[in-house]
Amino acid sequence: MIDFLGLVLEAKQPALSRGVLDSFTWEWLAEGVLSLTPKQAYEKVVVLSAGVHGNETAPIELLAQLSQDIFTGQLELKVRLLLILGNPEAIRSGQRYIENDMNRMFCGVQQQFVATTEAQRVVELEQIVTDFFTNSHAQAQLYHYDLHTAIRPSLLPTFALFPYQTHAYDAALLASLNAAELDAVVYHNAVGKTFTHFTSSKFQAASATLELGHAKPFGQNDLSAFSAIDQVLRTVLSAQDLPMRKKKAMQTFQVADSIIKTEDDFQLNVTDSAPNFSVFQSGAVIATQQGKPYVVAQQQIWILFPNPQVKKGLRAGLILTEVN
């Protein structure tokens, strides 16, 4: 039995780095990285990551519980699985990140921050995922679910972001998100630097970043609020049929633009308490910098991840339009 989260919180290594159980083998590949391979043939290879932002604790707890249930035999593993707790140092300190936002540092960006904690971890994770995918059997379908919770409340509380990709979006991934009762899906319009963009662009994996509610410290999460995604992940890992959706249909959005903070005088016309998916009508001024306004040209837009406090050069919000 491996205490996946406990080892990370205590900054310890397991006594053994690999083992064989009745139905699967496991290997501790690095701090907070555990691979599990069923002894029977598998059709899917799945990466489940959480804690890329260290203060987003509910998904971390979900992965810890999944790991425990696989080891105790309560959850039968029928896919090849890589579990990742992304930023161990930030997880231990309860911070979003230590020096730089790790989820903006994949796909080569880490080379700009070579000596930092997060950059070194990105290099490590990219290599581990590369080895994991390339050493899985060639016919298997590749999946990556990167689990997060949001800094601010959201009018659509749970949603997925698909990285921009030129290959087709995977129907089975979309079906799993639909079954998980997500409120919305958002399609990116440009190349990104996120963990899921790396797995999608490098390996054509079916990848999605999941925002599953509001970020809270350890011990303050009501995990029953995450039961829908938890159930779906368990059905994916055990190759069972997906549950039926009970909520109204997911809304679909496309990223129309990114607001980039380039100046010290940047102002975002969004209150600190404004939720994700706040709506702006045509003609509204969303932001200003150096006296230049960002004016809504479309009839109606939604704003996602508004954050005027980001460092210069980073995204201060995404502008969305709805896809019917």
Residue 211 bears catalytic tag: yes
Is position 144 annotated in a ligand binding site? no
Q: Which amino acid is residue 259, in one-letter code? A: I
Is position 197 annotated in a ligand binding site? no
Determine contact, residues 78/39, Cβ cutoff 8 Å: no
| Half-sphere exposure in the Cβ direction for 180 (13 Å, CA) | 29
Is position 148 annotated in a ligand binding site? yes
Considering the candidates 43, 61, 211, 263, report the single residue annotated as catalytic.
211
What span, in angstroms and rounded, lies between the C-alpha atoms of 2 and 178? 32
Which residue ranges are tagged as binding site? 53, 56, 148
Active site residues: 211
Which residues sit in the known binding site for Zn(2+)?
53, 56, 148
